[in-house]
Amino acid sequence: MIRYLLARLLTFVPTFLGVTLISFAFIRVLPGDPIIVMAGERGLTEERYAELVTQFGFDKPLPVQFWTYLTGVLQGDLGVSYVTKRPVWDEFFALFPATLELSLCAILFAIAIGLPAGVIAAVNRGKLFDRALMSTALVGYSMPIFWWALLLIIVFSGNLGWTPVSGRMGLLYFFEPVTGFMLIDSVLSGQSGAFGSAVRHLILPTIVLGTIPLAVIARQTRSAMLEVLSEDYIRTARAKGLSPLRVNGLHALRNAMIPVVTVIGLSVGTLLAGAILTETIFSWPGIGKWMVDSIFRRDYPVVQGGLLLIASMVMVVNLTVDILYGFINPKIRARK
C-alpha cells in the first residue's frame, strides 16, 4: 500500500509541471496587457510603463520568465498579486474556505439525494419512479448553471423572499473569521440568528452547484446497482431471508459504490469549475470568483497560482478515490 502510494505520488510530478506550464502559457495567450489594465482609464506615461515592464520582468524572454516562476513555485513562492500586492498564498487561504464550504455542501447535497434516488430507481426498474427520476436527472444534467441559478433566485429570493440573493452572511452580523467556514464561525461568534443566516445564504448556491453532480451520481448509482442486482451473491443474500433494505442497501450498494465513488471524485473537479459560475452569480467570495476577477485584471501570478492549486486539489481527490476503492472492495486492495 505504501509503495503504491509513493508510486502514485511520483506520477504527480509530471502532471504538476504540465499544469504549471499550461497555466503560465494560458494567461499569456489572452490578449490584454496587465500593466495597461492596472492603469485603467488614467493611463500612464511611457517612462512609467517601461519601468513597470522591467519591474514585473516582462522584458525578459518567456522561457526565462517561466524558469523564474517555476523555481519560485518549487520553493513554495507563488508570487504576489499585481493588484492587491498580497502573496497569492495568503489570498488563496483567505478565500478557499468559502469555496470549500460551498463545494462540500454541494457534494453532500448531491450524494444525500442522488445515491438513495439511484438505488430506489434501480430496485424499481422500469416503474414510474425510475422513469421520472431518470428524465429529471437528464434535465438536471443538461441545465445551464447560470440559467438555473437565475431561475431559482427569481422564484425563491425575488417572488417568495425566502432566501437572500447573494453573499455569505446577513449585514446584521459581523464577526472575525476564525475557521473561514461561515457555518462554524457563526456558531462560534455566539450571535443569535447568525447561523440561520449562514444556512439561508448557502441554500441556493448549494442547490445550483450540486445539481449536475446530483444528476450524474443518481444515474451512475442506478446503472451500477442494476448490474450488481443481477449477481449471484445478491440471490444468496436474499436466500438468507434478509430484508430488501439490507440486501439493496448493504450487499448491493457496497459493490455498486466503486463506479459511484469514481463519479463523485470526478464531480469534485466539476464542482471547482462550476464554482466559478456559481460564485460569480451569488457574489460568493470564494476562489471561483477570485479567479474570474483575476483573469479580467490579467493578474498573472494569481491566475497561475490559483490554477495550480485547483489542479493540485483535483489530483489529491483522485488519489483519495483510488485509496477508497481498496476500502470498498478488498479484492482491489489485494491487487495493489
Partner 1 sequence: MALLSIRNLSVEFATASGSFRAVDAIDVTVDPGDILAIVGESGSGKSVSMLALMGLLPWTATVTADEMRFDGQDLRAMSPRTRRRIIGKDIAMIFQEPMSSLNPCFTVGFQIKEGLKKHLGLDARARHARALELMEMVGIPDPARRLSAYPHQMSGGMSQRVMIAMAIACRPRLLIADEPTTALDVTIQAQILDLLTALQAETGMALILITHDMGVVAETARRVSVQYAGQKVEEQPVGPLFAAPHHPYTSALLAALPERATTRLLPTIPGVVPGQFDRPPGCLFAPRCTFADATCQNTPPPVQPPARGLARCHYPLGGPA
Instruction: Output the smallest distance, CB 33 to partner 1, in A.
Output: 58
Q: Which is nearer to partner 1, 3 or 240 (CB)?
A: 240
Q: Is 330 in the site for partner 1 (CB under 8 A)?
A: yes
Work out which of 63, 144, 161, 241 binds partner 1, going by CB under 8 A.
241
Instruction: Output the smallest distance, CB 225 to partner 1, in A.
Output: 14
Q: Which residues does 247 contact at the CB level (< 8 Å), separation at least 6?
A: 234, 237, 238
User: Is 73 within 8 Å of 308 (Cβ atoms)?
Assistant: yes
Instruction: Output the smallest distance, CB 265 to partner 1, in A.
Output: 19
Instruction: Output the smallest distance, CB 251 to partner 1, in A.
Output: 5
Q: What are phi and psi of 80, to 5 degrees?
A: -120, 140
Q: Is 237 in the site for partner 1 (CB under 8 A)?
A: yes
Work out which of 70, 238, 249, 312 binds partner 1, going by CB under 8 A.
238
Q: Pull the grid cell for residue 66.
A: 517561466
Give the range of 22-30, 66-74, 101-109, 236-244 binding partner 1 by CB under 8 A: 236-244
Work out which of 231, 273, 283, 293 binds partner 1, going by CB under 8 A.
231
Work out which of 251, 289, 297, 298 binds partner 1, going by CB under 8 A.
251
Q: Is 71 in the site for partner 1 (CB under 8 A)?
A: no
Instruction: Output the smallest distance, CB 240 to partner 1, in A.
Output: 4
User: Is 24 within 8 Å of 304 (Cβ atoms)?
Assistant: yes
Instruction: Output the smallest distance, CB 264 to partner 1, in A.
Output: 18
- Count of residues engaged in binding partner 1, rule: CB under 8 A: 20
Binding mask 309-328 for partner 1 (x = CB under 8 A): -------------------x
Q: Which is nearer to partner 1, 161 or 241 (CB)?
A: 241
Q: Is 131 in the site for partner 1 (CB under 8 A)?
A: no
Q: Is 334 in the site for partner 1 (CB under 8 A)?
A: yes
Q: Pull the grid cell for residue 269.
A: 473537479
Maximal CA-CA distance, the chain: 85
Work out which of 59, 235, 273, 283 binds partner 1, going by CB under 8 A.
235
Work out which of 48, 86, 131, 254 binds partner 1, going by CB under 8 A.
254
Measured N-to-C along each axis, helices 182-189 and 194-229 cross at an angle, to the nearest 10 degrees, of: 140
Q: Is 128 in the site for partner 1 (CB under 8 A)?
A: no
Q: Which of residues 29-68 bind partner 1 (CB under 8 A)?
A: none
Q: Is 236 in the site for partner 1 (CB under 8 A)?
A: yes
Sites of contact with partner 1 (CB under 8 A): 231-233, 235-243, 251, 254-255, 328-331, 334
